[in-house]
Structure 1
Amino acid sequence: MSVAFSASAVIPTPTPAPAPAPAPSWSLLLRAKALRQAASVSLGIQHYTTPIAPSPSLTEYIDSAIGSSPATKCIRLDIYHPPNTPTENDNEIQKRPGLIVFHGGGFVIGQGTDDSRFAQAAMDILGCTVFAVSYRLAPEHPFPIPVEDCLSSIIHIIQFENARKYGIDNEKILLSGFSAGGNLSFSALNILNSPNDCDQYQYNIPNNLPKIKGIILFYPLLNYSIRREDKLKTISKPEYGLPTSLTTLFDSSYLPNAIERGIDRKEIRISPGLASDILIKELPPVFITLCEYDMLRQEGIDFIHRLEGLGKDVKWSEVKGEKHGWDKQPSMWIKPSIMEEYTKALNAAKEWLDGEL
């Protein structure tokens, strides 16, 4: 039997598949907790390889007093003191610098002690006291809570009475952050440098805070407005990029229902690299470490070029043949490149501090 087709017949256009529904909050939370446990075990093994990572000299909990979700004793500070740390009772002027570090983990996993090896390197090279900040995590605490926790921690540490208690000079404070922590440290610094814009966030920033002397960023997320799939296209080996299942968990947890909540991903608390030229010119010296096979590499390169174009003091390094978070990957031995790159960044910071003497 033959079938005749009319010349005017219209072939129906296939209906596109509906977009997948966002994961329910309980599912995000279960996945996040499982991932945190796995990451903790992995880094715990790495920390016991030779040389053994240092333990904090002191751990304390401070309030988050800035922003939308203030809470008491919700931010953990793991404090690493080098030998001969001055105390608030010393008569001599405090000379020790302070370094505030924000861990990575996609705003969902991680804790301050993840960066204990970096803390050791900083104590060795800078003779500084290191404050590793464990901010509240998504999905339980989505944007803007992690930014506000980091801002609260900086303000707490840099205020004179607290700096004196910790034995540091609040005129010699550096910031650092890894991945999401780089985003948070930079976002918090933008807020500190733009007090006239704080009214829109309803932040009560103390007056006359000392300026931050420099910021060290490791493979930071600087531009959240670029889609993850587009970021993957910028690296020569996209198979080395973070898996979609992981980045989807991170993004869905940190920015849940972003469109419904009216969240603009270009906002400077989310994409600090998109801050205005006026605000970028307020930045202290910057050092950025990037990884060759990282989906965040290109936005880092673009930001470096922008800083250079504005005449800012910026130095950078690229870890060849490595992917995002190369220094946190599970291993029974420590890659030589880890301490090499930490040393490059911290030597730059030493120059910033020495320039103040």
Structure 2
Amino acid sequence: MSAATANTAVLERLDPALTALVPLTLPAALPAGPLTVELVRRVDASLVSEPVETARVVRLARSDGSALELRLHETARTDAAILWIHGGGMFLGSARQDDTLCRSLSAALGATVVAVDYRLAPEHPHPAPLDDCYTALGWLARRYPSVVVAGASAGGGLAAGLALLARDRSGPAIAGLHLSYPMLDDRESPMITTELADTVVWNARLDALAWQAYLGGSPADQYAAPGRAADLSGLPPTVIDAGDLDLFVHEDVAFASALETAGVDVTLTVEAGAPHCFEFILPDTDRSRATLERKHAALAGLLDGGAAR
């Protein structure tokens, strides 16, 4: 999909202040036809600039001898911290690419943010990325009495899977979840219209490739695809954000409803005229600034609520 051939119905509903993001995103840059991980990675690399921020790096040894990298954006606060899980469809992105975002988040909240550089599919399919997030959670929980887990897109899906895994393993405790347009369900939703299947930023073509890479031919369980979970009871207070032009909006709304039914304290916001990841792609618009301020306030509430318990 190119900017010139993007779904007309989506473009008509898109907030005019956000139209500049369309040519900056993967669907606009990808050729027609079948996609491969290698092709998408090459195109993505051409769109992503290197961050200017730095972070303190901690490396944890995995059982196979490789190192799991954590990138720390630190403050003096000692009662609570955030574990950040980056997006990228499980096969793109890195903790380093989110240095600027995490540094900004740490400064806004006055709390340490630790980003986990989990292994990527398809070289490392499920459960390897989730195992890395669980290791990072354990490391952080040993240092802070209260940990909030936050993530965007694939990172939001991993955060939800991590909460289920921690619940079922009886720890480490998670004080709250903040999920931005999380990628939660490998099943094709009957609610996804032709319009949303061809939406901007992240569309059905990319999503199918991402799930194929992440699952590696194995069936999805609730930890890989939390939208499949039959029991969401016992999960921490959860904040979910999505846009009504986001491919994931229907699965996110369904997950929020299921959380509420299970007795979990959940807050859902669906923004009109908003596509996937808009506030990070165009952070300097008034719309993006307002969204980020609202998300910071929600995260601050989760941090303070967890620290008070």
Establish whether TM, by shorter chain, passes 0.5.
yes
Tell me, in whole angstroms, the C-alpha distance in 1 between the residues paired with 2:205 and 2:56: 36
Tell me, in whole angstroms, the C-alpha distance in 2 between the residues paired with 1:118 and 1:231: 32
Contact residue 123 and residue 129 of structure 1 kept, 8 A: yes
Tell me, in whole angstroms, the C-alpha distance in 2 between the residues paired with 1:237 and 1:257: 26
The alignment status of 1:350 with 2:300, answered yes or no, reads yes
**Could you list the runs of 5+ residues in structure 1 that have no partner in the other structure?**
1-29, 48-53, 65-69, 86-93, 164-169, 197-208
Contact residue 197 and residue 203 of structure 2 kept, 8 A: no
SS in 2 for 1:171: coil
Q: Counterparts of 1:55-70 in structure 2 under 5 Å?
A: 55-64=53-62, 70=63
The alignment status of 1:194 with 2:168, answered yes or no, reads yes
Deviation of 1:217 (Å): 0.4
Contact residue 171 and residue 210 of structure 1 kept, 8 A: no
Contact residue 285 and residue 313 of structure 1 kept, 8 A: yes
Tell me, in whole angstroms, the C-alpha distance in 1 between the residues paired with 2:279 and 2:44: 13
Change (3 A) 1:135 1:126: same
The alignment status of 1:340 with 2:299, answered yes or no, reads no
Tell me, in whole angstroms, the C-alpha distance in 2 between the residues paired with 1:74 and 1:127: 28
Change (3 A) 1:285 1:124: same
TM-score relative to the length of structure 2: 0.78
| Counterpart amino acid of residue 222 in structure 2 | I
Tell me, in whole angstroms, the C-alpha distance in 2 between the residues paired with 1:62 and 1:37: 29
| Counterpart amino acid of residue 352 in structure 1 | L
Contact residue 102 and residue 112 of structure 1 kept, 8 A: yes
SS in 2 for 1:108: coil
Deviation of 1:41 (Å): 4.1
Change (3 A) 1:121 1:55: closer
Give me the identity figure in percent.
Answer: 24
What CA deviation, in whole Å up to 9, does each residue of 1:51-74 have, x standing for no partner? xxx61331232233xxxxx43343
Tell me, in whole angstroms, the C-alpha distance in 2 between the residues paired with 1:149 and 1:321: 35
**Could you list the runs of 5+ residues in structure 2 that have no partner in the other structure?**
1-34
| Counterpart amino acid of residue 184 in structure 1 | L
Deviation of 1:33 (Å): 4.1
Tell me, in whole angstroms, the C-alpha distance in 2 between the residues paired with 1:300 and 1:194: 22
Tell me, in whole angstroms, the C-alpha distance in 2 between the residues paired with 1:76 and 1:36: 21
Tell me, in whole angstroms, the C-alpha distance in 1 between the residues paired with 2:45 and 2:140: 26
Tell me, in whole angstroms, the C-alpha distance in 2 between the residues paired with 1:293 and 1:349: 23
Contact residue 61 and residue 73 of structure 1 kept, 8 A: no
Deviation of 1:237 (Å): 4.7
The alignment status of 1:39 with 2:22, answered yes or no, reads no
**What does residue 73 of structure 2 align with?**
80
Contact residue 123 and residue 130 of structure 1 kept, 8 A: yes
SS in 2 for 1:130: strand
Contact residue 40 and residue 110 of structure 1 kept, 8 A: no
Deviation of 1:124 (Å): 2.8
Change (3 A) 1:183 1:337: same
Tell me, in whole angstroms, the C-alpha distance in 1 between the residues paired with 2:256 and 2:204: 26
Deviation of 1:304 (Å): 1.4
SS in 2 for 1:253: helix
Tell me, in whole angstroms, the C-alpha distance in 1 between the residues paired with 2:259 and 2:205: 33
**What does residue 233 of structure 2 align with?**
281
**What does residue 271 of structure 1 align with?**
225
